[in-house]
């Protein structure tokens, strides 16, 4: 399925919950398939799919269709770890750095978080982001600049 991994990654960053992200992606594909007749050939499919996902997320967060989800299968956390040449210390520092970035990202307001995720994580161009979020390209650049500045400040405050 096209864009599955990228959509799931974006959904997880928005929801901060694996099961909710999976549900959000499934709903996105369902709505995309049901509304495919509204897709205009020659336009950006990626931006169209991200817009559907984002709208589903915003709708679920406003309470219009908010619901509790319960996993049906128990989680299996006993995954085998690959053997690496990394030392425990280097792994600890890498994990701390990732956690610091994730913590700072979670502190950003949603409009800033989604712009930085689409640009820096999903590597979308400004025009694609503007189409996905239905905002002017100047707003994308402004939000991205502010989001990056806030991230720098949040990360600098940790040290």
Here the CATH number for the domain that contains residue 159 is 1.10.10.10
Count of CB atoms situated within 10 Å of the CB of 115 = 28
Residues spanned by the domain of 114: 86-159
One DSSP character per residue, 95-108 reads HHHHHHHHHHHHHS
pLDDT at residue 90, rounded to an integer: 60
6 and 65, same domain (yes or no)? yes
pLDDT for the residue 71: 55
CA–CA distances in Å: residue 55 to residues 31, 49, 84, 87: 11, 10, 41, 43
- Do 29 and 95 lie in one domain? The reply is no
pTM of full prediction above 0.95: no
Q: How far apart are CA 6 and CA 117, in angstroms?
A: 11
Q: Taking a C-beta distance cutoff of 8 angstroms, is the pair 23, 69 a contact?
A: yes
Number of domains in the chain: 2
Q: Which segments of the chain have a pLDDT < 70?
A: 1, 61-96, 159
Together in a domain, 52 and 3:
yes
Is position 144 within any domain? yes
The helix or strand, by DSSP H or E, that contains position 57, with its residue range, turns out to be helix 45-61
Q: Which two tokens stand for residue 37?
A: 């007749």
Residue 78 within any structural domain of the chain: no
- Shared domain check, 63 and 101: no
């Amino acid at each position: 399925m096209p864009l599955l991994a990228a959509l799931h990654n974006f959904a997880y960053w928005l929801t901060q919950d694996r099961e909710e992200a999976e549900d959000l992606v499934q709903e996105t594909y369902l709505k995309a398939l049901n509304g495919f007749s509204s897709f205009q050939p020659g336009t950006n499919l990626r931006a169209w799919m991200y817009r559907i996902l984002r709208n589903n997320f915003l709708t679920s967060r406003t309470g219009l269709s908010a619901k509790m989800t319960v996993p049906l299968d128990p989680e299996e956390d006993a995954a085998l770890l690959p053997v690496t040449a990394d030392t425990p210390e280097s792994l600890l520092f890498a994990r701390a750095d990732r956690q610091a970035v994730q913590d700072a990202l979670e502190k950003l307001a949603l409009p800033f978080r989604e712009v930085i995720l689409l640009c820096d994580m999903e590597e979308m161009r400004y025009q694609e982001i503007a189409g996905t979020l239905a905002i002017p390209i100047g707003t994308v650049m402004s939000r991205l600049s502010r989001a990056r500045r806030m991230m720098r400040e949040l990360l600098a405050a940790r040290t």
